[in-house]
Structure 1
């Protein structure tokens, strides 16, 4: 006779809880992505400008400042801040929602721990899919502003021009490649962060966990976030390069799948990973900063913690 699986006692998140998750995710993403705008400008230009293709982050920044002035490094700040405000809120709140949903579906502590990788992957992927519907038009505007100096004066004029010239098709031309970029990014961000925390806490006794100082908890969160950021950058780099190319108008005519395949062949393995170094630096800062800010903002809002299904303990709020 098989052993009975112990049912979960899952927290019943309210609409107010999810609104707190959304606000915390929105703020942590818009602050970190907005702060990283100069690095993202250089990274994007390295990807789309042949003259900068072999440049390092520092050299690329110097070249851009010398030819276009310091303000060029803030190009695209508006769509970056607004785009990741809505995307970040939807992604973090969505991850909390879908993780809870999938934990509830598998039922029981043993099953949730057993299938925790699938739960992390599924929750991150579904949350990111819906978040990208909000992000894609603003990301297209940002890339056009960065890659075509003088295209528009800012978010509103850039978005309006792109929409008037190409319609919905232009705004969502990068939807498939952005999914190919952002879903692996989210998988790396959330899944690796979860497992880094699990590894850190698994080696500790219960007494050690209870007596952890704020500094120790900060160190674990920071280290986990940096590691997750590196993973997110590597997993999503090829699609990030293709997204920049698509929004610049590169590639042959045809279906999006055909264009992506052609651009990937043209770029080759080395070309697809152009700008990886600067992007790893940027993403490590982004992801670690986001998790730290997300936790602090949730605490300030008196929001409940998310569900944990780490192997060393039972799933709990």
Structure 2
């Protein structure tokens, strides 16, 4: 089994692939890429959450921004920024780091399985843990963004929510959060992996190892955008349910679905989510793979060579 791959284009790897240091680097890369990109799009996220919580008042992107600015001022657009930075930073570290770990683990154990099954299982396993880490941050963030008098941020929001609802208040939306993020993560990672393979095989028509670092990062960006857009459509219904539950517009998932309406589950806030998630996922993959490449590691995409050989034999 290959334990270490040299860096492409003559570089030297600072860490061994599949070593504890490698998974630590992946976790740090995921934390930085997810935290910074989610922080950057806080204004769009504030509008999205308010459009979901009050669709009559915030019925379009332009009028929604106008209403927020007029009624609450420019600072309202950055409400919940700390939840975005730290919450999604922690989630990103778990998601990317554990995805690399589980992909290696499952590709060794399930060598006779289809590659897509390995991608699905790896991303789902990682996302379960990532959402447990994210959930408390998300609970406070949604309240801060939609209830201006609730709290200013995480520092005062955490103790206030705990005092009012206890630990259950932080995890009220965990199941719908899994409902949103598990399908998104499974589709996003698998679409990314398949898109990378498709681009190298059918468009560039060269192996990844034969491409320059800039070409590899270009493939990462293109595959990342496709993966983000596809995942957004799949996860939109659950995203609306999460907002409804954390805003106490409904007491359970069934009531939230009934209140929102089946058609609205798929369409409400979808344009702004695509505007948010597509570029965010693209930048996440770009930052993440840039960190890996800077450490002498290959960009993300595909399984180990032993798995590729197994696929060819099958």
What is the TM-score when the length of structure 1 is the normalising length? 0.87
The residue that corresponds to 1:198 in the other structure is 197
Q: Distance in 2 between matches of 1:66 and 1:72?
A: 10
The structural deviation recorded for 1:303 is 4.8
Q: Is the 8 A contact 1:141 1:159 kept in 2?
A: yes
Return closer, same or farther for 1:157/1:303 CA change in 2, 3 Å cut-off: farther
Q: Is the 8 A contact 1:20 1:303 kept in 2?
A: no
The residue that corresponds to 2:259 in the other structure is 266
Residue 77 of structure 2 corresponds to residue 73 of structure 1: yes
The residue that corresponds to 1:101 in the other structure is 105
Q: Secondary structure at the match of 2:308?
A: coil
The structural deviation recorded for 1:266 is 2.3
Q: Distance in 1 between matches of 2:18 and 2:207?
A: 29
Return closer, same or farther for 1:251/1:188 CA change in 2, 3 Å cut-off: same
The residue that corresponds to 1:122 in the other structure is 121
Return closer, same or farther for 1:213/1:100 CA change in 2, 3 Å cut-off: closer
Q: Is the 8 A contact 1:308 1:315 kept in 2?
A: no
The residue that corresponds to 1:3 in the other structure is none
Residue 176 of structure 2 corresponds to residue 174 of structure 1: no
Q: Is the 8 A contact 2:42 2:84 kept in 1?
A: yes
Return closer, same or farther for 1:315/1:156 CA change in 2, 3 Å cut-off: farther
Q: Aligned match of 1:15 in 8, 13, 20? A: 20
Q: Aligned match of 1:288 in 282, 285, 296? A: 282
Q: Structure 1, unaligned stretches of length 5 or more?
A: 1-7, 253-258
Cα deviation digits, residues 172-225 of structure 1 (max 9, x gap)? 101101110111121122111111111111225765756545554343222211
Q: CA RMSD in A?
A: 2.3
Q: Secondary structure at the match of 2:117?
A: helix
The structural deviation recorded for 1:314 is 2.5
Q: Is the 8 A contact 2:58 2:67 kept in 1?
A: no
Please give the residue correspondences for 1:188-267 in structure 2 after superposition, counting only pairs within 5 Å: 188-203=187-202, 212-252=211-251, 259-267=252-260
The residue that corresponds to 1:90 in the other structure is 94
Return closer, same or farther for 1:306/1:276 CA change in 2, 3 Å cut-off: closer
Q: Aligned match of 2:35 in 30, 33, 37? A: 30
The structural deviation recorded for 1:270 is 2.8
Q: Distance in 2 between matches of 1:84 and 1:102?
A: 25
In the alignment of these two chains, the number of paired residues is: 296
What is the TM-score when the length of structure 2 is the normalising length? 0.87
Q: Is the 8 A contact 2:217 2:299 kept in 1?
A: no
Q: Distance in 2 between matches of 1:268 and 1:167?
A: 30
Q: Is the 8 A contact 1:17 1:304 kept in 2?
A: no
Q: Distance in 2 between matches of 1:102 and 1:307?
A: 15
Q: Secondary structure at the match of 1:153?
A: coil
Q: Is the 8 A contact 2:144 2:157 kept in 1?
A: yes
Residue 48 of structure 2 corresponds to residue 43 of structure 1: yes
Q: Is the 8 A contact 1:53 1:274 kept in 2?
A: no
Return closer, same or farther for 1:261/1:310 CA change in 2, 3 Å cut-off: farther
The structural deviation recorded for 1:310 is 9.0
Q: Is the 8 A contact 1:307 1:315 kept in 2?
A: no
